[in-house]
Amino acid sequence: MDNITKCNASTKPTQNGDAVGTAFTFNWADVSPEEIRAMAQSALVIKMQSQFRRDAVKHGAAIPTEITVNVVDHKPGTRAARPQKSIMEQIATMTAEQRAALLAQLTAA
């Protein structure tokens, strides 16, 4: 691995503020693979917590109390997959009419 890597990122000071570009230069000298793994794990936890919050607010999803993460699914440039709602969570979000229609379909089969 190269000891120096570079990337650019933009940061808004507020939600509606103007983005400020920052050129990052990372010096990886004297960092062990275990330390890199710990940093990646920390970043992944923060990324996933953000996704959990968004899913809870936008989709009424429950925040998981336990999760196994396949790190390969979260490589840079990929989006975190939204966890599937359980059938009970899906039914809980239905209107009374939708539940009645579902029940009618299930009992007709």
What tokens does 104 get? 């009618």
Structural domain count, the chain: 1
Query: Tokens 């840079």 correspond to what residue?
Result: 76
List, for residues 70-109, the tens digit of each pLDDT value: 888 888 887 766 667 778 888 888 899 998 999 999 998 6
Q: By residue range, what is the domain housing residue 63?
A: 4-108
List, for residues 24-77, the tens digit of each pLDDT value: 999 999 999 999 999 999 999 998 898 899 888 888 888 889 999 888 888 888
Q: Are 26 and 13 in contact (CB under 8 A)?
A: no
Please report the beta strands in 1-109, taking only residues with DSSP state E, as ranges in sequence order. Answer: 4-11, 20-27
CA atoms lying within 13 Å on the CB side of residue 41: 8
- pTM (predicted TM-score): 0.59
